[in-house]
Amino acid sequence: MSAEYVTGNEYGAHTSHGGSRLAARGVTVGYGSRAVIDGLDVAIPPGVITTIIGPNGCGKSTLLRTLTRLLKPAKGTVVLDGEDVARLKTRDVAKKLGLLPQAPVAPEGLTVSDLVARGRHPHQSWLRQWSSDDAGVVERALAMTGVSELADRPVDSLSGGQRQRVWISMTLAQGTDLLLLDEPTTYLDLAHAIDVLDLVDDLHESGCTVVMVLHDLNLATRYSDHLIVMREGSILAQGHPRDVITAGLLDEAFGLRATVIEDPVGDRPLIVPIGRTHVQAGQSEQPGQSEQFGHSEHSERSGTVPAEEYAN
Amino acid sequence: MGLGTLAVILVVVGAVSLTVGARALSPPEVWHALFGPPDSDQGLTEIRLIVQTARVPRTVLAVVAGIALGVGGALIQGYTRNPIADTGLLGVNAGASFAVVSVIALFGFANPFQYVWFAFLGAAVAGVVVFGLASIGRGAGNPLTLALAGQGITVFLAAMTTAVSLSDQKSLNALRFWNSGSVAGVGFGVIWPVTVFIAVGLVLAATVLPALNLLNLGDDVARGLGVNLALSRTVGIVAITLLAGSATAACGPIAFLGLMVAHVARYLTGPDYRWLVPYAGLLGAVVLLVCDIVGRLVVRPGELDAGVVVALLGAPFFAILVWRGKFRSA
């Protein structure tokens, strides 16, 4: 059912050209006078899952919010299907691009089916309020995210994982094949995070182009076809996880010491972080490791690390 | 409880309102006074006078103002996502009060017919200033900014009102009368124009209800679903100002009504504003009318203003809601 799910009329016309449908061209975005992103170019590859990763404050959420028109760039343009997003009506954008912000909150008492039904808003007007088409789309969105049996429950009575499925269901009911998700696994335990990301992969399999921001690097590596690695407002590297994820890049982007190994269950690399403690002797002397890490490793062993560093 | 049931209750309470007062009238007497042929009997003419110039206008005003305050209260709670927001939050009450004391002090107006338009103007200007303040700077359009701007303007205007009324005895007397919130003593010369403003406010309110449902999912979700935030906020604030400003101009500030009925409506309908708002409107009319009737009964042959009764009955009712945990967040 998933294949026909996105090919129906209500999901908008698929563009026939193979190029990117969503791109940022020379965008400068910031809050107040401080530019978080300065003159950045990026194109989202069609039909795959793209994940933006990077350290806290690197501008990854800012980039996602810019791509979804939630933030207006001071310079540059965001292009959706060849048109400048700033010149499109927000409702017309909503017919092409679905977005799920970070940790959304539903009003108390709102039922699952009512929330998902609100996803149909871009397709409704005062003259055309609710149709059987809408009902069908909502039903399929509920079914695809596995929340049909929760339809009459209040959203606030659900567990975190169920709730996130419901929100994704609402975004699906919007009927776009371009989905942008800002940290869809925030506040979820690992099992529920995997559950939600499997669902995201189902959506991708059914033909959606997905862009996410994720914090967890291993989940990002496992579930993405294209990674955009950001640091200090610019793109450090991008490409398939197999090509992008290396110990050197992790050090450069995050200042993280890690070993990158073959994933014993997946077909992508697996990142094994090396912390200061609980690490086997010899593991700390990785090739390509920078001088300062060797130094801090040494000072820890010799007991010169200030006590406060252990306090938390 | 359905909307139809509420409408029936409203009609019944409205009929009761025509019979109750310093002089109790029987339903046939009221009927005759309204629809009967003119007669020369002195007693009947007096009844006709009471019904047509006192009971009917105050009943109509209670219904119109009740709808306006109920709808306005539900809208302001929806727009600010704040369950204790009230129409007074936009500064309309304070603006109306300040305008009333000012024109009385300046021009010596003594009659409500003269200052009601200034009250409306004061409410509108205060609403525009608050909305303007909340729309500039970094927190533009943010519900918290709106609440803070409203609070600031309210405090400022209340201080100015106190200053003027303390320096002018006439203003102080008028303010005491005006400030308690009454639906009595206002003629159709005021009621009809006020009703037109309120009708415009209701139409505007109806157009923003779908967007309001989405705004309650958060600004980002609403924009993602294609809501034009600036447009729907502006239309909503204009509607609230028209509704609350008109009602306040005609009755004086009736605090608490919008806040209270919005909660009862939310309890009855759940969080869908397309249902919540009409419920709040009808509930507002019923509650204000009942409070006016109660006010006519408790201190006969004198009267307690409807605004005072709303507060007296509303406070315990509200306390019970709190105690039983029946509140839902906006």
String of b and e for B296-329 (b: at least 16 CB within 10 Å)? beeeeeebbbbbbbbbbbbeeebeeeeeeeeebe
Total domain count for chain B?
A: 1
Measured in angstroms, the CA of A173 and the nearest CA of chain B are apart by: 10
pLDDT above 60: residue A288: no
Specify the higher pLDDT residue, B2 or A12.
B2
pLDDT above 90: residue B318: no
In residues, how long is chain B? 330
Please report which confidence band the pLDDT of residue A117 belongs to, taking 50, 70 and 90 as the band edges: very high
Distance CA B208, CA B308 (A): 32
- Residue B100 structure tokens: 């009333």
pLDDT score at A285: 53
pLDDT score at A305: 37
Element (H, E) at A50: strand A49-53
Among chain A residues, the shortest Cα distance to B268 is held by A109
Contact between chains at A108 and B214 (C-beta distance less than 8 A): no
Question: Each residue of B57-110: pLDDT tens digit?
Answer: 999 999 999 999 999 999 999 988 887 788 888 888 899 889 988 888 888 777
Specify the higher pLDDT residue, B42 or B190.
B190
Contact between chains at B218 and A104 (C-beta distance less than 8 A): yes
pLDDT above 90: residue B214: yes
Contact between chains at A107 and B225 (C-beta distance less than 8 A): no
Q: Which residues contact B49 (CB under 8 A, 6 or more apart)?
A: none
Going through chain B in order, the beta strands assigned E by DSSP cover none
Q: Which of A68, A104, A109 sits opposite B271 (nearest CB)?
A: A109
Best probe of the B interface among A105, A111, A138, by most B CBs < 10 A, is A105
**Residue range B188-215: mean pLDDT, rounded:** 93
Establish if B329 belongs to a structural domain: no
Establish if B269 belongs to a structural domain: yes
Please report which confidence band the pLDDT of residue B40 belongs to, taking 50, 70 and 90 as the band edges: low
Establish if B179 belongs to a structural domain: yes
Best probe of the A interface among B207, B212, B221, B268, by most A CBs < 10 A, is B221
Contact between chains at B214 and A118 (C-beta distance less than 8 A): yes
Among chain A residues, the shortest Cα distance to B266 is held by A109
Contact between chains at B224 and A118 (C-beta distance less than 8 A): no
The whole-chain average pLDDT of chain B stands at 87
Element (H, E) at B103: helix B92-107
Contact between chains at A108 and B224 (C-beta distance less than 8 A): no
Question: Each residue of A39-80: pLDDT tens digit?
Answer: 999 999 999 999 999 999 899 999 999 999 999 999 999 999
Write out chain B residues lying below 8 Å of A175, CB-based. Answer: none
CATH number for the domain harbouring residue B282: 1.10.3470.10
Contact between chains at A107 and B224 (C-beta distance less than 8 A): no
Please report which confidence band the pLDDT of residue B41 belongs to, taking 50, 70 and 90 as the band edges: low
Distance CA B74, CA B78 (A): 6
The whole-chain average pLDDT of chain A stands at 84
According to DSSP, the β-strands at A98-100 and A178-182 are parallel
Contact between chains at A70 and B214 (C-beta distance less than 8 A): no
Q: Which of A90, A101, A119 sits opposite B220 (nearest CB)?
A: A101
pLDDT above 70: residue A293: no
Establish if B210 belongs to a structural domain: yes
Specify the higher pLDDT residue, A222 or B86.
A222
Please report which confidence band the pLDDT of residue B141 belongs to, taking 50, 70 and 90 as the band edges: low
Contact between chains at A126 and B227 (C-beta distance less than 8 A): no
pLDDT above 80: residue A123: yes
- Residue A241 structure tokens: 């996880």
pLDDT score at B322: 76
In residues, how long is chain A? 312
Contact between chains at A90 and B221 (C-beta distance less than 8 A): no
**Residue range A119-123: mean pLDDT, rounded:** 92
pLDDT above 70: residue A258: yes
Measured in angstroms, the CA of A33 and the nearest CA of chain B are apart by: 11
Q: Which residues contact B325 (CB under 8 A, 6 or more apart)?
A: none
DSSP code, position A40:
E
**Residue range B180-198: mean pLDDT, rounded:** 88
Percent of chain B with pLDDT over 90: 40
Specify the higher pLDDT residue, B229 or B281.
B281
Q: Does A107 touch chain B (CB under 8 A)?
A: yes
Q: Does B324 touch chain A (CB under 8 A)?
A: no
Question: Each residue of A10-27: pLDDT tens digit?
Answer: 333 333 335 789 999 999
Establish if B12 belongs to a structural domain: yes
Which residues of chain A from 184 to 203 reach within 8 Å of chain B, CB to CB? none
Write out chain B residues lying below 8 Å of A93, CB-based. Answer: 226
Sign of CA dihedral B322, B323, B327, B329: positive
Q: Does A114 touch chain B (CB under 8 A)?
A: yes
Please report which confidence band the pLDDT of residue B273 belongs to, taking 50, 70 and 90 as the band edges: very high
Measured in angstroms, the CA of B228 and the nearest CA of chain A are apart by: 7
pLDDT above 60: residue B297: yes
Please report which confidence band the pLDDT of residue B324 belongs to, taking 50, 70 and 90 as the band edges: confident
**Residue range A263-289: mean pLDDT, rounded:** 78
Q: Does B207 touch chain A (CB under 8 A)?
A: yes
Contact between chains at A92 and B226 (C-beta distance less than 8 A): yes
Among chain B residues, the shortest Cα distance to A90 is held by B226
pLDDT above 80: residue B330: no
Best probe of the A interface among B207, B208, B220, B227, by most A CBs < 10 A, is B220
Q: Which of B207, B217, B270 sits opposite A104 (nearest CB)?
A: B217
Write out chain B residues lying below 8 Å of A124, CB-based. Answer: 210
* Chain A / chain B CB contacts < 8 angstroms: 71
Q: Does B210 touch chain A (CB under 8 A)?
A: yes
pLDDT score at B45: 81
pLDDT score at A303: 37
Measured in angstroms, the CA of B206 and the nearest CA of chain A are apart by: 10
Percent of chain A with pLDDT over 90: 68
pLDDT above 80: residue A127: no
**Residue range B227-244: mean pLDDT, rounded:** 90
pLDDT score at B326: 59
* Cβ count within 10 A of residue A45: 18
Contact predicate A224/A51, CB 8 Å:
yes
pLDDT above 80: residue B1: no
Establish if B328 belongs to a structural domain: no
Measured in angstroms, the CA of A214 and the nearest CA of chain B are apart by: 18
Structural domain harbouring B83: 3-323
pLDDT above 50: residue A307: no
Write out chain A residues lying below 8 Å of B226, CB-based. Answer: 89-95, 121-122
The burial class, CB within 10 Å (0-12 / 13-18 / 19+), for B111 is exposed
Write out chain A residues lying below 8 Å of B326, CB-based. Answer: none
Distance CA A274, CA A258 (A): 5
String of b and e for B72-106 (b: at least 16 CB within 10 Å)? bbbbbbbbbbbeebbbbbbbbbbbbbbbbbbbbbe
pLDDT score at A292: 39
The percent helix, strand, coil of chain B (3-state, each to 5) is 80, 0, 20
Q: Does A84 touch chain B (CB under 8 A)?
A: no
Q: Which of B138, B210, B272 sits opposite A121 (nearest CB)?
A: B210
Please report which confidence band the pLDDT of residue B252 belongs to, taking 50, 70 and 90 as the band edges: confident
* Cβ count within 10 A of residue A147: 22
